[in-house]
Structure 1
Amino acid sequence: MYEIYSQYYENISLDLFCQDMAEKNGVFLVEDRSTKRVVGFSTMKTLDMRNGDKRVKGVFSGDTIIEKEYWGNKALHVAFFLRMIREKLRHPFRPMFWLLISKGYKTYLLMANNFHNYYPNPDRHCEKLEGLVDNYCELLFQPYYCPENKLLDFGGGYTHLKSDVAQITDEMRARNEKIHFFEKRNPSWERGTELPCVGEVSYSLILHYPFSLWRKLRRKTRGTMTAIPAK
């Protein structure tokens, strides 16, 4: 996992990587189906939180990275979706949210392209979700959270994507409103500032997502990877 991580990020060390892993509840491993070689991973942490006067569950996603030749494969999406169902069924009447911090536009698009109700959203503003972002950032990252611009700033020596990874071009800005929106909200992403996001895991999302994923898989099926669910 660290070897994959070191291919795409600057300002990293094995000690910090292992420390971050130890703080998580689980890890998704993405394997090449034919060779069983690990080609990506994502981490997660579950949180009991309050949003106003309600008790809610948060599922926080940490670092997510997949080797470039496997970008576009949906194995990790499927494994994460199944875990969301499992967590939702543990407390079926408690509101649940996906908590995400994004160094680059690809991570932001995971939420923006798949969730009905999420923040920040280029099409509409949701004060409830904005307040939840404030809550979890102050809970997990209080010294680094800037409530004025809703960004996490860990300083100049913080881990960030290498300069040749996930660059944003003028064509991408013009073609994709969500990419353009991400860059406007996180203009210093190249030096490692993180955009905190939140998406509501509702029953309508759970029912709709398999059909949406099926349509995407029909358009582009690779079948080269499998994801091992987080433990």
Structure 2
Amino acid sequence: MNSQLIRIEELSPLDVEEMFVLLSNHFQGVKRDVFNNDLDDKNWVILIKDEQTNELKGFSTLLMYDTCFEGETISIVFSGDTIVDPSAWSSSALSTSWISSINKLRWEYCKGRLYWLLISGGYRTYRFLPLFWQQFYPRYDTATPENILCLIQNLAVKRFGENYDIKTGVVRFAHPHILRDGLRGIPAERLQDPHIRFFQTLNPGHFDGDELVCSTEICEENLTRAGRRMWFARTNSVDQIPV
């Protein structure tokens, strides 16, 4: 698999069409105007393509921005539409390029500490947090610190408005993306993982497209061993990242 990080405005019409088709093939409820508006709201996208056929196998849109919280300027990376075709699940292309891309982009955008604002509509997405980050929230083995909870709620209210339920920490969109049959739900054996079991407890409506709001600080000190390997992945440039 090859991975490419490019600015939203540099996407070709073909890229955009392939992204829409890929998302629609895996989710119910994908509307073209909602997809276009979401894309316009982002500033970067990671494309995952088959090295032999150049077929789009996955993508993740990103919004990098600054905000103020408790008198401090901080930077945020928000993950938008994200999908990887099951035929590419054995590849670490997306996770590798995501972390190494953020390591590069932070030098251009960050004016303070950098946080990842992530909404998890499926256990696979949530599982990225314990895999790559030492401290993240919410998590099963410790309560979310008050200052982090306030940060998450502050960011979620500003970004999702009335779609965000501050009591449950869950976002319910008017037009949710619901995984198609065969992709949604959690296999019974995966519930042996306490992280996945916790995700199901906090987001019981994930089957219907509910999204759990999560966050972690993005810094070298917070990386797991697996995260560090990807953080320092060799890259040629910010625009083209071979995996």
1:111-132 CA distances to partner (integer Å, 9 max, x unpaired)?
2321112111112222222212
Instruction: Give the whole-Å Cα distance in 2 for the aligned partners of 1:178 and 1:52.
Output: 30
Aligned-pair Cα RMSD in Å = 2.2
Match of 1:100 in 2: 118
Aligned partner of residue 123 in structure 1, secondary structure: coil
1:114-172 CA distances to partner (integer Å, 9 max, x unpaired)?
111211111222222221211111111111111111111224x5221123214213222
Identity of counterpart residues, as a percentage? Answer: 27
Q: Identify the structure with bigger relative contact order (alpha carbons < 8 Å, sequence gap 6+).
A: 1
Match of 1:218 in 2: none
Residue 35 in 1 paired to residue 53 in 2? yes
Match of 1:122 in 2: 140
Which piece of structure 1 moves more, 65-74 or 86-95?
86-95
Residue 76 in 1 paired to residue 94 in 2? yes
Instruction: Give the whole-Å Cα distance in 2 for the aligned partners of 1:131 and 1:96.
Output: 16
Match of 2:153 among 134, 138, 146: 134
Judge conservation of contact 1:28–1:41 (CA < 8 Å) in 2.
yes
Instruction: Give the whole-Å Cα distance in 1 for the aligned partners of 2:156 and 2:123.
Output: 19
Instruction: Give the whole-Å Cα distance in 2 for the aligned partners of 1:140 and 1:43.
Output: 15
Instruction: Give the whole-Å Cα distance in 1 for the aligned partners of 2:41 and 2:63.
Output: 8
Match of 1:63 among 69, 76, 81: 81
Q: Normalization by structure 1: what TM-score?
A: 0.85
Distance 1:57 1:3, change over 3 A: same
Aligned partner of residue 204 in structure 2, secondary structure: coil
Aligned partner of residue 24 in structure 2, secondary structure: helix
Distance 1:210 1:140, change over 3 A: closer
Match of 2:66 in 1: 48
Residue 187 in 1 paired to residue 183 in 2? no
Judge conservation of contact 2:133–2:224 (CA < 8 Å) in 1.
no
Q: CA deviation at 1:208?
A: 4.7
* Gap regions ≥5 residues in structure 2: 1-18, 232-238
Judge conservation of contact 2:66–2:111 (CA < 8 Å) in 1.
no
What count of residue pairs does the alignment treat as equivalent?
A: 215
Match of 1:5 in 2: 23
Which piece of structure 1 moves more, 39-48 or 121-130?
121-130
Q: Normalization by structure 2: what TM-score?
A: 0.81
Distance 1:205 1:90, change over 3 A: farther
Q: CA deviation at 1:53?
A: 2.4
